[in-house]
Amino acid sequence: MSTNKDQVKGALKDIGGKIQEEAGKLVGSTKQQVEGLKNQAKGKVQKGVGDLKEAVSDVKEAAKK
């Protein structure tokens, strides 16, 4: 099992969204908080797509054996 680009990009987008949300809280910007939450959601979805791709790849490899 290896990590694919969707898993990495999704995780980074999620982390970036968390940072953006917290920065929004610090400066009192609801807009930044909402954008951060949206980016977190997008990151989680992208990571999920990567996880699914990885699972499919693992099943294909197992079927070859």
What confidence score (pLDDT) does residue 4 get? 92
Handedness of CA 26, 31, 34, 35 (dihedral sign): negative
- Is pLDDT above 70 for 57? yes
What does pTM read for this prediction? 0.85
Q: What is the pLDDT of residue 65?
A: 79
Q: How far is CA 55 from CA 3, 4, 5, 46, 63, in A?
A: 11, 11, 14, 14, 12
Q: Mind listing the pLDDT tens digit for each residue in 1-53? A: 678 999 999 999 999 999 999 999 999 999 999 999 999 999 999 999 999 99
Burial-class residue 16 by CB neighbours within 10 Å (0-12, 13-18, 19+): middle
Dist. CA 46–CA 63, nearest whole Å: 26
Cα-to-chain-centroid distance, residue 34 = 16
